[in-house]
Amino acid sequence: DQQVKQNSPSLSVQEGRISILNCDYTNSMFDYFLWYKKYPAEGPTFLISISSIKDKNEDGRFTVFLNKSAKHLSLHIVPSQPGDSAVYFCAAISGGGADGLTFGKGTHLIIQP
């Protein structure tokens, strides 16, 4: 049973517009959520995170929103740039931070000029 779900395998957005990537989770024990960005032939790189006690975290062009009642989080990228084209993974963790991450399957974001 998949505990972290990214239901959109791909997303195409025009340069300069807003990109919204969605993620749903089923495990109520998750207390921290992260977004990772991955380019081909490279390891994932940490992008932004949010604690379950917050509903929003912002870092430059990237904002993550958390709706605990709906078990849903989203990543907003504004404005979208060509370098944002990558696979984005939503991940969740519980148990104090020392355990492994539970990842979604990823969403391939394509920024069109």
Partner 1 sequence: DAEITQSPRHKITETGRQVTLACHQTWNHNNMFWYRQDLGHGLRLIHYSYGVQDTNKGEVSDGYSVSRSNTEDLPLTLESAASSQTSVYFCASSGRLDYEQYFGPGTRLTVT
Q: List the one residue from 46, 56, 78, 112 that touches partner 1 (CB under 8 A).
A: 46
Q: Are strands 102-103 and 86-93 parallel, antiparallel or unpaired?
A: antiparallel
Nearest to partner 1 of 74, 102 (CB atom): 102
Q: List the one residue from 13, 19, 89, 111 that touches partner 1 (CB under 8 A).
A: 89
Binding flag, residue 60, partner 1 (CB under 8 A): no
Question: Cα–Cα distance between 110 and 113 in angstroms, integer?
Answer: 10
Binding flag, residue 1, partner 1 (CB under 8 A): no
Binding flag, residue 70, partner 1 (CB under 8 A): no
Name the nearest CA neighbour of 64 among 80, 49, 44, 81.
Answer: 49
Nearest to partner 1 of 19, 104 (CB atom): 104
Q: List the one residue from 49, 52, 57, 74 that touches partner 1 (CB under 8 A).
A: 49
Question: Cα–Cα distance between 20 and 80 in angstroms, integer?
Answer: 10
- Taking the alpha carbons at both ends of the chain, their separation in whole angstroms is 38
**What percent of the residues of the chain are helix, what percent strand, and what percent coil, each to the nearest 5?**
5, 55, 45
Residues in contact with partner 1 by CB under 8 A are 4, 6, 32, 34, 36, 41-46, 49, 89, 93, 97-106
